[in-house]
Structure 1
């Protein structure tokens, strides 16, 4: 049976909620604790309190042995009209799955810079909220330009993220990624790269990143929970050569994934 959400649910009518996307293999969610904690923290930030057990049970009910993308959506639920309701019902927790293929690992991406900007001063800048229209339009721009993803700058003209991922650049031997204050999301894969990179011989810095610095980097890559790590091969027509650093990080993340969730399925 398909899940049913009330037409009066504030997630549907106002985008009043948050979500999380994770990868599941062999019935196990990769970095599960991190995903759940981030979701609960994001909900609490916008004033939604939810019993963690509800989220855990909903995820468990959705898991199967098949590799899947797990999306957990959490809304304020139903309430009387008004932007800030005097009272609201119980939060809505909805977990959906879609098939995942190991072919997504190792895919590269060509980027174009989106015309819209990410507001790093917004109280939701670091939250995966349901209001994703700015990024949908950025993705539309990329598709119309024949690219795979869009680079999004913040209001100061500095690098924030892509439409669907965090971004890293190898600059003079250091892996540089924008700090959260630049308006990017606290990505799970982003955090893992920051934690794992020193043991692989990389210095890591969270610092503002100018578009011209990104364009002149030795390598650029994206991270998210579905594709894990994705080498950028071009930005606004500027080509990037393959770099061993990305392959090393990809191998390390894949090893962590299989250690936690078991072997990857054979490609179809």
Structure 2
């Protein structure tokens, strides 16, 4: 059993990073992209990065401990490690790496989105990294489920569409693909990049924008993250959304790139 020190800053302050990697078809999907994002996040949080070989070994050990399932979510945590009481980090941080693999079933069906009151703070540095402090997302998802949805749509403090609780957001208008700009408080998602590239390869214009709810009303939508790939949105705030063959085409192109 893995233990966590009671003074670990990841435990006490949410100081650290994580990545969730899909294990499928005998491979860790987009491994290099996940590792690079963690290293980049370490620069943003002024943390020493994990050793690349140790990071990979931790993922493989977690899969072995889980019985080597056919499909799994491999979660890698890079905590800031032990520290003194209070906010100030130690002069010589000693981050700690942990990993866990959880078996996955088939990807979920179309999502029922509910716009939540919990806002994404686009001014916060943590909106740009996979921070261990994920409470806003937890509360947004809980609010959405309480309202009969299965995923949250989060706006930022300016009222613009930002993201889902655990996914990037896309919509279509007149054969154009739109997604919130990174400046809206959006995580630079690995599947977000894949979907943008796939849409452009299909000849579809892609715009990264700031948009309020009125601009996406009634538009076909889809979500992306590393575990679901591309997930169609069935409804937003109880309103059924039209399906689009373009979403299917983007999903197929992203799936081939895995």
Which TM-score band (shorter chain)?
over 0.9
State whether structure 2 residue 43 is matched by structure 1 residue 44.
yes
In structure 1, stretches of 5+ residues that fail to align are: 258-268
The one-character-per-residue Cα deviations of 1:83-127 (angstroms, maximum 9, x if unpaired) are 1124244211111110012x215x100111101211101111111
Partner deviation per Cα, 1:123-163 (whole Å, 9 max, x = no partner): 11111111111111111111111101111001110000011
Aligned counterpart, 2:230: 229
- Hey, what does 1:83 align to over in structure 2? 87
Choose from 156, 163, 167 the match for 2:169: 167
**Contact 1:193/1:249 (8 A) holds in 2:** yes
CA contact (8 A) 1:189 1:224 kept: yes
Q: Bigger shift: 137-146 or 59-68? A: 59-68
User: What residue in structure 2 maps to residue 93 of structure 1?
Assistant: 97
Report the more deviating stretch, 108-117 or 43-52: 43-52
Q: Which runs of 5+ in 2 are unaligned?
A: none
SS in 1 for 2:133: coil
The answer to whether the 8 A contact 1:76-1:88 is kept is no
Aligned-partner Cα distance in 1 for 2:251–2:125: 32
Q: CA deviation at 1:54?
A: 2.3
**RMSD of the alignment, in Å?**
1.4
Asked whether the equivalents of residues 127 and 185 of structure 2 are also in contact (C-alpha less than 8 Å), the reply is: yes
Q: Structure 2: how far apart are the matches of 1:127 and 1:142?
A: 23
- 1:179 pairs, out of 178, 181, 203, with 181
* Counterpart-to-counterpart distance in 1, 2:74 and 2:90: 32
Shift of 1:191: 0.6
User: When the two structures are aligned, how many residues end up with a matched partner?
Assistant: 253
Equivalent runs, 1:1-268 vs 2, <5 Å: 2-50=1-49, 51-64=51-64, 65-66=68-69, 67-101=71-105, 103-104=106-107, 107-217=109-219, 219-257=220-258
Q: Take 2:118 and 2:254, find their aligned partners in 1: how far apart are those partners?
A: 32
* SS of residue matched to 1:156: coil
Q: Deviations over 1:30-56 (max 9, x none)?
A: 010000000111122101112333212
User: In 1, are the aligned partners of 2:7 and 2:85 still within 8 Å (CA)?
Assistant: no
**111-120 vs 196-205, which moves further:** 196-205
In structure 2, what is the Cα distance between the partners aligned to 1:232 and 1:192? 18
What TM-score does the superposition give when structure 2 sets the normalisation length? 0.93
Structure 2 contact 218–241 (Cα < 8 Å) conserved: no
Distance 2:11 2:229 in 1: 29
Instruction: Report how far residue 61 of structure 1 moved.
Output: 2.2
Deviations 1:60-85 (A, max 9, x none): 32235422101111111112222112
The 8 Å contact of residues 218 and 242 in structure 2, kept in 1 or not, is answered as no
Query: Which residue of the partner structure matches residue 265 of structure 1?
Result: none
Give the conservation status (yes or no) of the 8 Å contact 2:47–2:93: no
